[in-house]
């Protein structure tokens, strides 16, 4: 069986082959998290005030002084700019001459936010604010974005809901839960319950902190929720304007929006993903879009993709796949822009 299946679009790099001893999806998922850890990422922090009186924190990689492009990185559930995959991808992008800017979703930057609201899989206003800042900070430099898991779902919401490119020339999303209800169900049963429990420990701790500061905004039972769906019912949904978890999942699942994305985009997913079932990927919809390139590997777990002979960290298969795709797409965008400028001069 082939190790990768993809649709049309900018060709991705070499097909993925799991490293020896790491063919199990749970090993890929867990070991991937371990080997990508970095003690002290080379970030500089910028804080942006939001229109509602809160803030978001951006972490800028200390990369090239004159970047050929910029790339906004969006982390997954209960991650941050310091998550291993965010750091190693920032390193790989910097090596390709691209300035990486990592957005910490609200409550994830290491400092409690000023308001009760946090973040969720369909929230896009903070992403838009971050993209606007990047455009102002690096005028005339082509922009891209990369979203991991929940961050990828939010990015597809942003790009697909109203078919706008948001000033981006390319995007990549990895291990996206295209069907949020299916992903929540996967995290509540079988071996994947271990991941669900890990997420819940962090989420419940934040719920306790929010309940102490904003007792009128947080349901008392949120801090003792037994499943992710129950947590979304008690906190995520009411805090962000949804009727319940089912309403939240239905309105924010990116599978319904991906076919409306208009820019070149790489969609990377493993068939054995234990957190975001590959069965929820709208493959037929994606295949109809020439700008979308679906790279569907047989193995790789969730945000794992530890390949044979590809090293780890910024030299890993996942990081190089992302960096090469984004670099090629931004280079094509610069060429097209230069050609348009030359026609205008003539």
Q: Which residues are known catalytic residues? A: 149, 273, 302
The angle, 0 to 180 degrees and rounded to 10, between the axes of the packed helices 125-137 and 150-160 is 80
Q: Which helix (H) or strand (E) holds 120?
A: none
Helix (H/G/I), strand (E/B), else coil: 109:
coil
* Residue whose token pair is 């993809």: 6
Nearest to 199 by CA among 149, 246, 241: 149
CB 310 within 8 A of CB 317: yes
The helix, strand and coil proportions of the chain, stated in percent and rounded to the nearest 5, come to: 45, 15, 40
Nearest to 26 by CA among 299, 298, 301: 301
Helix (H/G/I), strand (E/B), else coil: 277:
coil
Nearest to 174 by CA among 274, 92, 296, 280: 296
Number of continuous H segments (helices) and E segments (strands) in the chain: 11, 9
The single-letter DSSP state of residue 234 is I
Distance CA 69, CA 99 (A): 6
Q: How many residues does the chain have?
A: 346
267 has which bridge partners?
173, 294
> What string of DSSP letters covers 121-163?
TT--HHHHHHHHHHHHHSTT--EEEEEETHHHHHHHHHHHTTT
Q: How far from the centroid of its chain's Cα atoms is residue 50's Cα?
A: 21
Q: Which residues touch 192 (CB under 8 Å, ≥6 apart)?
A: 186, 274, 275
């Amino acid at each position: 069986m082939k190790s990768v299946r993809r649709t049309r679009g900018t060709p991705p790099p070499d097909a993925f082959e799991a490293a020896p001893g790491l063919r199990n999806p749970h090993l890929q998922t867990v070991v991937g998290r371990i080997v990508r850890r970095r003690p002290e990422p080379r970030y500089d922090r910028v804080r942006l005030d939001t229109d509602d009186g809160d803030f978001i924190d951006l972490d800028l990689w200390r990369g090239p002084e004159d970047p050929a492009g910029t790339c906004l990185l969006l982390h997954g559930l209960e991650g941050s700019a310091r998550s291993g995959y965010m750091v190693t991808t920032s390193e790989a992008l910097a090596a390709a001459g691209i300035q990486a800017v990592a957005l910490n979703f609200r409550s994830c930057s290491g400092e409690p936010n000023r308001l009760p609201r946090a973040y969720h899989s369909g929230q896009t206003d903070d992403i838009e604010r971050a993209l606007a800042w990047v455009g102002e900070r690096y005028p005339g430099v082509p922009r891209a974005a990369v979203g991991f898991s929940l961050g990828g779902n939010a990015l597809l919401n942003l790009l697909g809901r109203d078919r706008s490119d948001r000033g981006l020339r390319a995007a990549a999303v990895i291990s996206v839960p295209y069907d949020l209800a299916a992903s929540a169900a996967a995290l509540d049963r079988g071996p994947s319950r271990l991941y669900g429990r890990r997420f819940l420990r962090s989420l419940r701790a934040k719920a306790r902190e929010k309940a102490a500061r904003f007792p009128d905004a947080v349901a008392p039972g949120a801090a003792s929720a037994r499943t992710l769906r129950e947590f979304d019912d008690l906190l995520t949904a009411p805090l962000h304007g949804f009727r319940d978890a089912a309403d939240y999942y239905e309105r924010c699942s990116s599978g319904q929006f991906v076919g409306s994305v208009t820019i070149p985009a790489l969609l990377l997913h493993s068939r054995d993903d234990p957190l975001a079932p590959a069965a929820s990927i709208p493959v037929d919809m994606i295949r109809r879009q020439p700008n979308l390139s679906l790279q569907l590997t047989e193995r790789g777990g969730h945000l794992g993709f530890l390949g044979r002979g590809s090293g780890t960290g910024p030299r890993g298969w996942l990081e190089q796949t992302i960096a090469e795709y984004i670099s090629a797409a931004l280079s094509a965008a610069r060429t097209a822009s230069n050609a348009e400028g030359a026609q205008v001069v003539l």
